[in-house]
């Protein structure tokens, strides 16, 4: 069934288009035409203002709506997390497993295989650890961090279904294993590491193409040792994830990242935990209580424990607090993460042949409507 969306500005993934209508047919966009030339047959959606954007894509989403993937590594857990964030405009995401026991990793990979094609908006998994650097553990349990072996790499490759995005430390994993993973279609991201810049560049040369939550849990940039931050900012081959919540990265550091890499090199991520998207203020993270104070989420010792963000919160933060143009902020939440996942041939754009996964936002950047592959979902946002 054809659907025609009109009456709002259209953000096509790169820029705004005025006085046009979007035409979809089932799960695919089939046209973008002037409003006066739109078909009159099919379901007509007069949006009455606001803007129509590709659905937001979250590459790093640990939990939401009271659920943590580590605690509920099941199809139901994956579905609940995505459903919670869907109400806030995130149509597609990678549920993220942080460092845990090997058995839990295997269980999560198995659940991911079952969820693919069954859970709306599920693209695959982000495995963040345990193959990281204990010196930059952050909220990850240091006792469970371990080196990546060839057997581990084989298990990841065997468990891959859809996108598999793996965060590892370039000073802990040799370039040969990074090349082995990327040759199998795994997206390797670098993070949680005290690596030098040369170690980081070697990993990028081996095929790593992303950086996990830029600035956080990584060796910093200084004038004599550029560290992971310097390598990430300097190398155009990598797209860096960024947590824009006012706590993980300062406004000035955000501006530096954008000056260095632009909106095509920075992908917004939520790093969301169970309190995000309507969840409770407290939750248990591997035997430790994490608590929400305002918009900040910490462990008892003050360590940041992910965020309370939704992707739309991050877009609004960039627009309202950093002064970024709406089109650039939306690009970092749509097309750039799609490129990060090598899915920009199908997601992140409003153009013929792309997924009919769209979000209608009001002028105040609140959610008015969400469609995934042409199907409407409840989407009223309380914020």
Q: Which residues does residue 193 pair with via DSSP β-bridges, in sequence order?
A: 218
Q: Greatest CA span in the chain, whole angstroms?
A: 65
Residue-level pLDDT at 380? 47
State the CB neighbour count (10 A cutoff) for residue 157. Answer: 15
Separation of alpha carbons 314 and 57, rounded Å: 12
Segments in the chain below pLDDT 50: 380-383
Residue with tokens 């792309």: 354
Domain locations in the chain as residue ranges = 2-53+348-377, 56-340
**Angle CA(276)–CA(250)–CA(299) in degrees, nearest 5?**
45
Question: 171 CB contacts (<8 Å, ≥6 apart)?
Answer: 133, 193, 194, 195, 196, 199
First and final CA of the chain: distance in angstroms?
Answer: 32
pLDDT at 113: 97
The active-site residue out of 100, 133, 271, 344 is 271
- 94: exposed, middle or buried (Cβ count in 10 Å: 0-12, 13-18, 19+): buried
CB 307 within 8 A of CB 245: yes
Q: Which residues pair with 163 in a beta bridge?
A: 124
Indicate if 271 belongs to the active site: yes
Name the token pair of 154: 């084989």
Considering the domain 56-340 in this protein, what is its CATH number?
Answer: 3.20.20.140
- What is d(CA 328, CA 262) in angstroms, rounded to the nearest whole number? 9
Alpha-helical regions (H) of 146-250: 150-159, 175-183, 197-205, 227-234
Per-residue pLDDT at 169: 98
* pLDDT on residue 46: 97
Instruction: Report residue 49 as tokens.
Output: 């203002």
Among residues 383, 359, 377, the alpha carbon closest in space to that of 5 is found at 359
Which pLDDT does position 379 carry in this prediction? 52
Report pLDDT for 378. Answer: 77
Q: Is the dihedral of CA 53, 57, 61, 64 positive or negative?
A: positive
CB burial string 182-192: b at 16+ within 10 A, e below: beeebbbbbbb
The residues pairing with 4 across neighbouring beta strands, listed in sequence order, are 23, 44
Q: How far apart are CA 136 and CA 219, in angstroms?
A: 8
CATH T-level fold of 2-53+348-377: Urease, subunit C; domain 1 (2.30.40)
- The continuous run of DSSP H or E covering 11 comes out as strand 9-11
| Helix (H/G/I), strand (E/B), else coil: 82 | helix
Are 124 and 95 in contact by the 8 Å Cβ rule? The answer is no
Predicted local distance difference test score (pLDDT) of residue 381: 45
């Amino acid at each position: 069934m054809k659907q025609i969306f009109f009456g709002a500005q259209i953000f096509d993934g790169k820029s705004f288009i005025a006085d046009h209508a979007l035409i979809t047919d089932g799960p695919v966009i089939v046209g973008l035409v002037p409003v006066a030339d739109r078909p009159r047959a099919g379901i007509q959606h007069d949006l009455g203002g606001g803007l129509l954007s590709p659905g937001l894509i979250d590459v790093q989403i640990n939990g939401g709506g009271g659920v943590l993937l580590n605690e509920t590594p099941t199809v139901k857990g994956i579905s609940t997390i995505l459903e919670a964030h869907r109400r806030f405009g995130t149509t597609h995401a990678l549920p993220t497993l942080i460092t845990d026991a090997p058995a839990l990793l295997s269980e999560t990979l198995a659940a991911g295989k079952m969820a693919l094609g069954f859970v709306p908006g599920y693209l695959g998994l982000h495995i963040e650890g345990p193959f990281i650097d204990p010196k930059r553990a952050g909220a990850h349990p240091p006792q469970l961090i371990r080196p990546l072996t060839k057997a581990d790499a084989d298990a990841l490759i065997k468990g891959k279904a859809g996108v598999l995005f793996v965060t590892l430390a370039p000073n802990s994993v040799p370039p040969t294993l990074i090349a082995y993973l990327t040759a199998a279609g795994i997206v390797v991201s670098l993070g949680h590491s005290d690596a030098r810049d040369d170690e980081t560049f070697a990993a990028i040369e081996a095929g790593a193409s992303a950086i996990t939550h830029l600035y956080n849990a990584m060796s910093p940039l200084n004038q004599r040792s550029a560290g992971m931050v310097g390598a990430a900012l300097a190398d155009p081959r990598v797209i860096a994830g960024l947590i824009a919540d006012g706590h993980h990265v300062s406004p000035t550091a955000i501006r530096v990242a954008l000056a260095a890499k632009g909106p095509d090199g920075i992908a917004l991520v939520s790093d969301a935990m169970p309190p995000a998207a309507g969840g409770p203020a407290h939750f248990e993270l591997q035997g430790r209580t994490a608590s929400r104070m305002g918009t900040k989420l910490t462990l008892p010792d003050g360590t940041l424990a992910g965020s309370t963000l939704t992707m739309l919160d991050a877009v609004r933060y960039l627009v309202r607090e950093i002064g970024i143009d709406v089109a650039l902020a939306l690009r970092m939440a749509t097309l750039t993460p799609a490129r990060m996942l090598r899915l920009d041939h199908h997601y992140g754009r409003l153009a013929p042949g792309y997924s009919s996964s769209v979000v209608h936002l009001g002028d105040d950047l609140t959610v008015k409507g969400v469609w995934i592959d042409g199907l409407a979902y409840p989407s009223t946002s309380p914020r």
